[in-house]
Amino acid sequence: MSEIGQFAHHGANRITPRILKGIHKKLPFLKVEFATIHAPQFPHLVDQLEFLSDVVEDFAEGAAEDLPYVTVASAAFALVYAHRQMDLIPGSVPIFGYADDSGVVRTVLIEHERVLSDYAEKNGLDWSKISLKA
């Protein structure tokens, strides 16, 4: 497993149901924040964060209770990480500012591909556009 994979797993393991509830309450704010990300080097990051936000929201509201908690916790960790102001590479750093955020998000999408692609299909979303597969 890659170092970023280990990092994402460690972070996801720390997402308790109580923390997930808090993240759910902050989702409207996070969605607005994510929509303002300007990262031309990572053009799909905003859509991927929106997708992961929807996963967490649907699970927390009971619309996707069949999703494994580990997948939802991983999605929640990716959202929290992207929101953090003090991450490995601050978003304000030109060109590379969102590389770490994108790496965490992509790791979650790849490691939970089967579950997330099924979720996308059930919700009428094109998984290939979310996962960057042609």
Model confidence at 100: pLDDT above 80: yes
pLDDT at res. 91: 52
**Apex CA 107: angle with CA 131 and CA 132, to 5°?**
15
CA distance 80 to 11: 9
pLDDT at 39: 85
* 109: containing domain: 3-131
Q: What percent of the chain is modeled with pLDDT above 90?
A: 69
61-79 burial, b if ≥16 CB within 10 A, otherwise e?
A: eeebeebeeebbbbbbbbb
pLDDT for 134: 37
Tens of pLDDT, residue by residue over 50-89, are 999 999 999 999 999 999 999 999 999 999 999 875 555 5
Instruction: Please tell me the pTM assigned to this model.
Output: 0.90
Amino acid sitting at position 5 = G
Domain total in the chain: 1
Q: pLDDT tens digits for 23-57? A: 999 999 999 999 998 888 888 999 999 999 999 99
Is the pLDDT at 106 greater than 80? The verdict is yes
Asked if 15 and 77 count as a contact pair (C-beta separation under 8 A), the reply is yes
Tell me if 119 sits within 8 A of 65, measured CB to CB. Answer: no
- pLDDT at position 46: 94
Q: Which residue has the higher pLDDT, 83 or 120?
A: 120
Distance CA 71, CA 13 (A): 11
